[in-house]
Chains A and B, each alone.
Chain A
């Protein structure tokens, strides 16, 4: 059920938008101004139509095309492509859209009435025509729960893929299995994917293990977005440590430096701040010094080799290492490093391939476009080889 404080995803054809649910707070989507109060205490997944600045439950009318069989009585020999087929002018259509009491369905009916070619079309292309117009003129949105799955789609559809390093759903899912992330694991994550990977790790560890999120300067702003959308219960993030990547290879010195600062401090708030930093550094140091890291996931905008060279020594033997890169060359040098130093076995470099299908009676085929850029993964298992 949707609660106040949750985030919801509005989805319509090729558009996805995320909003926080707050009482009496208006949002703008497309050209509509709406409040989300109607969604509270309602289940996720249903479709809503915007009418009179309000969200109304939309009765599902789709899937009628599933039962239609091919009818071969018409073809497209007489169809001529010209702009004169639609008798309504652009301005007239715009005028219709502005009329308050006319629904999207009625606009579509008018368009069909005024289309000279509609009746010559085959049943399939009539359907396609209506479907396309519906996407354009109906203000119907699916209200989705933010999950790792739907957020992947959100970044793909919204053309924000570069924000998550072009991470495709199947590649992300492989990162999670090959790293063996689960409850009771100690995981180190270094990512530049807006928190998508960190959030999936938090979800799979579910508060039963420890997660160290390394980032420049230890900032968690870069990973905050998706963690917020997921709205995890507090116990999920109580063992999440945001630690500066640049300090991770010289922890003992860093701890000494902090201790010096604390003993020299005169200002109480400054001292308290340094104490917090020290506590965090000591916690992280305990994992690193004891080689107690079970999973290392690297999917960042930086060259992975210098990072992996440093971090791999904190991993316990039989740990799982997964490195992601959009191109293969940075992973090839990591591959050579791991082979040469014998720090890992079962080292595999791979790419992934994902193809979606349209499945309809007598119209089953792969979708016309596919996302061909799923990136590369280097996976391996750390060993003690003395």
Chain B
């Protein structure tokens, strides 16, 4: 059970993540006889078998880390078939849907199965995910992934258009998640699919017009506590930010050459042997060696310049007990 249970060593058939750096992660399924080519040279699958997860593996021209498949790692390394839902939103969805081991949850559409893996991890081993997708190839691809990741016992995959045909189930689920172009069309059927004790629902939409229609329809159908949030996570980069002191005593009128010479002299006196050029690419793993204890207190953090500012609106609501 490579995505759910924690095995300590790699066995044949496991999906593992080859970790080179923050944005170079490659999922592979370990199979004897195959090899994988990375920028650090080629890697034989058979070399991985029996290795501990989280250990360093030598390739012909360098080394990388081999990690266990987890929903969070999968989300940043999976093959995109659609836009996907990322971990910050997945977190809020999981919490607001009250999910825990044993929960029965319905999801539509399956898309690239980024959220699906996280949902399975949370409801495993006593719960179940029912995932609906109207695009046949996507549905089949997800189904294969679940099999490869040894989680298919905890998920049922349906190829079905829930807006047109409904979910086709009744009094089954603790929670329903919708990521559809017209989520309001699936709400009536979603209500039927929720357990008679009631449950939670979430709809993810990128546009506010969709949210308005969905919220109105939810209230009409008797859902309560309808509310909408946006949630983002901002990554900060930790670096040493040095600001030079302005020298009030220097004669700034003197020629350019002399000035440069002058400031160079100053630099040479104040900061001997700083490895400047390497520090500039501090975002990647290669700069690990740059941090030494003596200067650690001078590190500070700033947000990375361009980051997602909008993903989608999350609308949540509660359905109360159906027969009360």
Complex CA gap A69/B293 in Å reads 63
Chain B contacts of A302 at CB under 8 A?
none
* A210 vs chain B, min Cβ distance (A): 12
A318 near B68 with CB under 8 A, answer yes
Q: Does B15 contact A (CB under 8 A)?
A: no
> Chain A 300-337 against B: per-residue CB contact (8 Å), 1 yes, 0 no?
00000000000000001111100000001000110111
CB-CB under 8 A from A333, the residues of chain B are 296-297, 299
Known pairs A332-B299, A339-B291, A340-B291; A46 contacts B229 (CB<8 A): no
Q: Mark the stretch among A27-35, A128-136, A178-186, A242-250 that contacts chain B.
A: A178-186
**CA distance in complex: A361, B226 (Å):** 14
Q: Are A173 and B212 in contact (CB under 8 A)?
A: no
Q: Which residue of A lies closest to B300 (CB)?
A: A332
A123 within 8 A of B: no
A383 to B54, CA, bound (A): 5
Q: Write the chain A residue with the least CB distance to B320.
A: A45
* Separation of A206 and B122 alpha carbons in the complex (Å): 10
In the complex, whether B262 has a CB less than 8 A from a CB of chain A is no
| Choice from B96, B100, B102, B292 contacting A340 with Cβ under 8 Å | B292
Least Cβ–Cβ distance between A150 and chain B, in angstroms: 9
Interface string of A67-84 (1 = CB under 8 A from B): 000000000000000000
Binding-face segment, A105-113, A267-275, A281-289, A349-357: A349-357
> Would B65 and A383 count as touching, CB distance under 8 A?
yes
What band does the interface of chain B fall in when counting residues whose beta carbon is under 8 Å from A? 35 or more
Cβ contacts under 8 Å, A316 to chain B: 6, 8, 54
Pair B92/A170 contact, Cβ less than 8 Å:
yes
How many angstroms between the C-alpha atoms of A345 and B299 in the bound complex? 18
In angstroms, Cα B192 to Cα A376, docked, is 40
Known: A177-B94, A332-B300, A359-B212. A352 touches B4 (CB 8 A): no
Q: How far is the CA of A147 from the CA of B219 in the complex (A)?
A: 23
Chain A residue at smallest Cβ distance from B319: A45
CB distance from A164 to the nearest CB of B (A): 15
User: Within 8 Å of chain A (Cβ to Cβ): is B36?
Assistant: no
Chain B 287-308: CB-based contact to A (< 8 A → 1; otherwise 0):
0100111001101110000000
A350 touches B235 (CB 8 A): yes
Residues of B within 8 A of A66 (CB): 216, 219
| A372 within 8 Å of B (CB atoms) | no
Interface residues of B in 38-70 (CB under 8 A from A): 52-56, 65, 67-68, 70
A197 to B63 CA separation, bound complex (whole angstroms):
37
Q: Is A224 an interface residue (CB 8 A)?
A: no
Chain A residues with CB below 8 A from B215, complex form: 359
The tally of residues in A whose CB lies under 8 Å from a CB in B reads: 66
Closest A residue to B235 by beta carbon equals A350
Which candidate, B83-91, B104-112, B246-254, is the interface stretch facing chain A? B83-91
User: In the complex, are the beta carbons of B224 and A342 less than 8 A apart?
Assistant: no
> Could you tell me if A317 and B230 are in contact, using CB atoms closer than 8 angstroms?
no
Question: Which of B6, B118, B291, B300 neighbours the largest number of chain A CB atoms within 10 Å of its CB?
Answer: B6
Q: Would A173 and B91 be within 8 Å (CB), given that A43-B320, A317-B52 are in contact? A: yes
Q: Give every chain B residue within 8 A of A189 (Cβ-Cβ).
A: none
Question: For the complex, what is the distance from the CA of A182 to the CA of B100, rounded to whole Å?
Answer: 8
Main secondary structure, interface of A, reads mixed
- Give the shortest distance, in Å, between A50 (CB) and chain B (any CB): 20
Known: A180-B70, A184-B6, A385-B56. A354 touches B230 (CB 8 A): yes
Q: Which residues of A contact B22 (CB under 8 A)?
A: 346
Asked if A43 contacts B321 (CB within 8 A), the reply is: yes
Contacts of B70 in A (CB 8 A): 180, 320
A178 to B73, CA, bound (A): 10
Contact A349 B301 (CB under 8 A): yes
B141 in the interface, Cβ–Cβ < 8 Å? no
A195-214 at interface with B (beta carbon < 8 Å):
203-206, 208
Q: Mark A147-181, 1 if CB is under 8 A from B, else 0.
A: 11100000000000000000001101110111010
Is A46 in contact with B320, judged by CB distance below 8 angstroms? yes
A105 to B296, CA, bound (A): 63
Known contacts A345-B285, A359-B212; is-contact A60 B5 (Cβ 8 Å): no
A381 to B238, CA, bound (A): 17
Task: From the candidates B6, B55, B320, name the one contacting A384 in the complex (CB within 8 A).
Answer: B55
CB <8 Å contact, B318 and A169: no
Q: Closest Cβ of chain B: how far from A297's Cβ, in Å?
A: 14
Q: Is B101 touching A177 in the complex (CB atoms < 8 A)? A: no
A318 and B53 contact, CB distance less than 8 A? yes
Q: How far apart are the CA atoms of A345 and B57 in the complex, in Å?
A: 14
In the complex, whether A215 has a CB less than 8 A from a CB of chain B is no
Contacts A148-B95, A345-B65, A354-B231; is A317 near B224 (CB within 8 Å)?
A: no
With A and B bound together, what is the CA distance between A182 and B1 in angstroms? 13
The CA of A45 and the CA of B322, in the complex, are separated in Å by: 12
Distance (Å) between the CB of B108 and the closest chain A CB? 21
- Given A294-B6, A350-B234, A359-B215, are A176 and B101 also a contact pair (CB < 8 Å)? no
25 sampled A-B residue pairs with Cβ under 8 A: A43-B198, A45-B321, A46-B320, A66-B219, A170-B88, A170-B92, A173-B91, A174-B233, A176-B95, A177-B71, A178-B72, A184-B5, A203-B100, A208-B125, A317-B55, A318-B68, A333-B297, A340-B291, A345-B19, A349-B236, A353-B231, A354-B229, A355-B229, A357-B230, A359-B315
**Nearest 8 Cβ contacts at the A-B interface:** A317-B54, A318-B54, A43-B321, A173-B91, A173-B95, A206-B101, A318-B53, A336-B296
**A residues lining the B interface (CB < 8 Å):** 1, 42-43, 45-46, 60, 63, 66, 147-149, 169-170, 172-174, 176-178, 180, 182-185, 203-206, 208, 294, 316-320, 328, 332-333, 335-337, 339-340, 342, 345-346, 348-357, 359, 361, 364, 376, 381-386
